[in-house]
Amino acid sequence: MDLYRGELIGKYEVITQLSVGGMAELFLGFTSGPGGFRKYVAIKRILPDVRSNEQFERMFLDEARITAAFNHPNIAQVYELGQEDDGLFLAMEFVAGQNLDQLTDACRRRRQPLPLGMSLAVGRDVCMALHYAHTFAGPSGRPSPVIHRDVAQKNIMVTYDGVVKLLDFGIAKARGSLERTHVGTVKGTAGYMSPEQVRGDPIDGRSDLFSLGVVLWELVTGQRLFEGKTERDEMVNILEAPIPSPRQRAGQVSEEVSAVILKALERNAGDRWQSGRDMARALEDAAGRMMFDTDRRAALMRSLFQSKMASTRALLDSADVGKAPAPSGPEPAVIVSPDVGEPESWEPSTPLPRAEDEELAAEAASLSARATALPEDDSVTRDATRGPWAIILLALVVGGGFLIWKLVPALDEQVEPEPKVPAFVDPRLRQFPESGQPIPPPVQAADAGSAAVAEPVEQTGKKEETPGKKETGKPSKRGAPVQTGLLTLVITPEASVFLDNELLGRTPIFNKAMRTGTHYLLVLGPDGQKRRLSVPIKAGKPVVLKLSLNEIPLR
């Protein structure tokens, strides 16, 4: 049971505690009104043992004063600054989604890259959020620019509806700020700071654009840019290490996109993009139709975080019925601004589960529920141990055990176990292994003019299928259910995919149900060339294909 559930913080009733950091704690709560009105908020409250810290309290007030005046769709809002006996608190916009660290981790676990169009769309929206902050003017019209100073993957969210949100202006620098940075103090996330920020020089909005350039470089390549063993090493790398073109690390990135990112990463601020709006326009021009719209972003989020979304819905529904939800899944992904001064504490308290782990956990919970429910009806146990029923029951158990003991070895001799089929990973694609893991050796590409094949197919001696037709195997018996498998197809750049002259969809395509057998797909890319892709679908088996368009042979 949540110890904080039902507690009041100002006018807000707490549903659950979300996070605890070194300086503040975070809650999910709501306020109610007439006619069933309900507004959900995230509540940040200073921890009791730091309420006497005047510096942190000033930073807390700075965050409220700066962001309460903001009104931009890509910036998480602050609704209220309040004070009660337990100290200051902020009521902020409730953001249900995942930050970029969690998004890229989910893609890595599925062994698929984050779609390039998704990365560029996120970058474009963050550019517009930064431009709004950098050119902000108060109600009187007096310019009051705000520099974020901590643009990093952990502070950029994508909601389950596909909306990008820039979070945590807790260490932002604004004109008239109450909290002054002391000489020699560096604030920000190591590895994402601008060179002038590392040196402690005066900064402006172009410093945030450098940080966003680092984020984009890492999103499109799947690698760290200024990685080091310590924070000091990362800062030295920011000042001195060479910055390779993203295209050198990820061939699917075009020269135009690489040029936009590299200009943001110029060490001399005068050579960078001079405003977030200029950088946003450059990204749009370079991406073209490749850039994901809101619907496609939402579709990707749904495909990656179905269980998280369900947990969040259950948590919100529990507020309506006035009781906590049953612990049937992982913790909900409800994320807002992290604690000031303790950004590293805003990691999930439990690791994100893999899809198969979630299925096992659900099955285990179901079995556990059934097992614990049985002893409650002890009349069944008493009746079963009385009179002749006990003898009959004992005979059935002993006889059944004897049959199993005899039959299982015989069946094992006759039935060959089904071989385990590993999840497919195309060896021609760039892999993004965890730190310390070996990179699989490359293999030779398919010969020109042949069909690209999803995975090795055993030689059976059967006559080769005629191109353009589907291999359906032996005809199924009359009335037998049609067997299907799932296809996930990621092609860069994006392409239209046809099956038997019917549009299957536009990549990326996630978990598309298809009949079993080998299908020959027609792939039509932005260059207008027709290509042929062979995809074998097995019953109940997911097939994941991640390809560059130029790897698929022309038809």
Active site residues: 150
Residues listed for the chain: 555
Residue among 253, 306, 12, 313 at smallest CA distance from 116 = 253
C-alpha span between 194 and 266 (Å, rounded): 10
**Amino acid sitting at position 129:** A
Could you tell me where the DSSP H helices lie in 322-436?
355-373, 378-384, 387-414
C-alpha span between 63 and 78 (Å, rounded): 9
Helix (H/G/I), strand (E/B), else coil: 309: helix
C-alpha span between 350 and 441 (Å, rounded): 33
Number of neighbouring beta carbons within 10 Å of residue 389? 11
> DSSP per residue over 49-115, as a string?
GGTT-HHHHHHHHHHHHHHHT---TTB--EEEEEEETTEEEEEEE--BEEEHHHHHHHHHHTT-PPP
Report whether 172 contacts 146 (CB < 8 A). yes
Residue among 3, 89, 79 at smallest CA distance from 46 = 89
Cα dihedral across residues 290, 286, 212, 27: positive or negative: negative
